[in-house]
A and B are shown apart, each in its own frame.
Chain A
Amino acid sequence: MVYFSKRCAMAILLAWGAVAPLSAAEAVADPLSQYREMLGGDNPADLWVSRGEALWTEPRGPRKATLVQCDLGLGAGVVKGAYARLPRYFSETGAVEDLESRLVSCMVQFQGFKREEILASRFGDGERHSSDLEALVAYVVTASKGERMAVPQNTSQEKRAYSMGKAIFFYRAGTHDFSCATCHSADNKRIRLQALPNLTTPTGAQAAYTTWPAYRVSQGEFRTMEWRLNDCFRQQRLPDLKYGSPAAIALTEYLARNANGAVLAAPAIKR
C-alpha cells in the first residue's frame, strides 16, 4: 500500500497492459497512439540494461562471485533467449521458477547473498528507486527481445503450475470480490483511455506479456513482471502476492504460456 495512488481509489479496476496493440481501425481512433509513437524506441529501460549487465559480470556479495555461472534454463551462463523460455522446471531446486525467483536463487547460490535481504529490497524503495534485482531482470529480458515466446510444458510440475495459475486468475476474493478475470477476461474493456487486454485469449495475453517488464513513466523506473502482478493484487485489494512464491510463479506460467508464439517486445515503455 506504500504507493497507493489516489486516482486509483475510485477506479477499482486493474490495468494490466496499458499498451495493448490495437487493430488498425482502433489505432486511428486511439488518442494516445501519437504519444506512444513519439516515445517510440528511445526507452530509458536501456539505462537499467547496462546496469544489469554490469551486475551480472561483476564479482559481488559475500562470496565476491559473478552470476556468469547462473543457469536460467538453457545451461550455465546462457542469457540469450532464456527469458522467452521461462518459467520452467528446474530439477536442481525441484520447482518451477520464473526469471525473478531464478535470479534470487543464483544470487544466493553463487554470491552468498541472504534470500531475505534480497527480498526485502526486491522493488527497491517501492517508489522512485528500483533494485539491483530489477536491473538484472532488465538485462536478461533484453537478451530475449525479438525472440518468440516458447514456454515449455514438458513436466508435470509445469502443467500443474499452469492449472494453478489459471485457477488463481479466475479466483474471486478480497473485500471487493475481485479476480484477475474481472477485468481481463473480456474483449474491448478499458479504464479511462487505457485498453484492458483479454488475458484469456492468445492475442490478449501475447500483447500484455510481451510488453512487460517495462519502463514505468509514472515512476521513472524499470519494473518487472512480479512487480506488475503484485500491483494487480494491490489493486484487487488482495494480500501481497509473495515474491517468487508458487502462486506468483503459477500466475506467470499461465500468462506466459498463453503468450507462446508471440515475439517478445519487452522491455517496453508504459505510462
Chain B
Amino acid sequence: MSYPMKIRATLSGDKVEVKALIAHEMETGFRKDTAGTLVPAHYIQLVTIQCNGKSVLSAQWGPSVSKNPFLTFRFSGAKKGEKLNITWQDNLGETRSDEVAIT
C-alpha cells in the first residue's frame, strides 16, 4: 500500500517547473529496528516522468535517496492543463503512478 505523491507542475515562461514529494520508506537495508533486527532494504529504483506520453525525465535511485524523496527539475514544450505523470517502481516490485495537470 502506498500513499499518493504530492506533485506540482507550474508553467513559468516556456518552462514547466516540477516539484514532487513521494511517500516511500527508502529503507537502506542497513538500519536496525528497536528490537535490533535488520530492516530489509526497500527503496525506489526507477522513476519515470512523462508529459503527453513523452518522457521528460527518467531516474534510477539507490537506497541512499532520502526517505519520502523530493525531486525538482524543469522542462520545456508543454502547456497549461496538460498532464504530467510520475511512476515509480521499487525493489520489491511495488509501483505507483500519479498525475497532475500543469498550472
Interface residues of chain A, those whose CB is within 8 Å of chain B, are: 2-3, 42, 44, 46-47, 50-51, 126-128, 220
Interface residues of B (CB under 8 A from A): 3-6, 19, 21, 23, 25-26, 33-34, 66-68, 70, 72
Is the CB–CB distance between A47 and B68 below 8 Å?
yes
Q: Is the CB of A47 within 8 A of B34?
A: no
- Find the B residue at minimum CB distance from A135: B3
A-B contact count (CB 8 A): 33
In the bound complex, how far is the Cα of B31 from the Cα of A3, in angstroms?
13
Pairwise interchain contact A47-B19, C-beta atoms closer than 8 A:
no
Main secondary structure of the interface of B (DSSP, over half): loop
Known: A3-B34, A42-B72, A127-B33. A47 touches B67 (CB 8 A): no
Is A47 a contact partner of B23 (Cβ separation < 8 A)? yes
A50 touches B6 (CB 8 A): yes
CA distance A173 to B49 in the complex (A): 55
Shortest distance in angstroms between B25's beta carbon and chain A's nearest beta carbon? 7
Instruction: Chain A residues near B19: list those with CB within 8 A.
Output: 42
User: Given A2-B34, A3-B34, A127-B34, are A47 and B21 neighbors across the interface (CB < 8 Å)?
Assistant: yes
Residues of B close to A127: CB separation below 8 A: 33-34
Task: Report the minimum CB–CB distance from A46 to chain B (whole Å).
Answer: 5
Q: How far is the CB of B62 from chain A (nearest CB, A)?
A: 17
- Let me know if A220 and B6 touch, CB within 8 A: no
CA distance A42 to B67 in the complex (A): 14
Closest 9 CB pairs of A and B: A220-B67, A44-B68, A47-B23, A46-B6, A2-B34, A42-B70, A44-B21, A220-B68, A47-B21
B23 → chain A closest CB, angstroms: 5
Check A50–B4 contact: CB distance below 8 A: yes
**What residues on A are CB-neighbors of B72 within 8 Å?**
42
CA distance A3 to B35 in the complex (A): 10
Besides A44-B23, A44-B68, A46-B21, 19 other A-B contacts (C-beta < 8 A): A2-B34, A42-B19, A42-B70, A42-B72, A44-B21, A47-B4, A47-B5, A47-B6, A47-B21, A47-B23, A50-B4, A50-B6, A51-B3, A127-B33, A128-B33, A220-B25, A220-B26, A220-B66, A220-B67
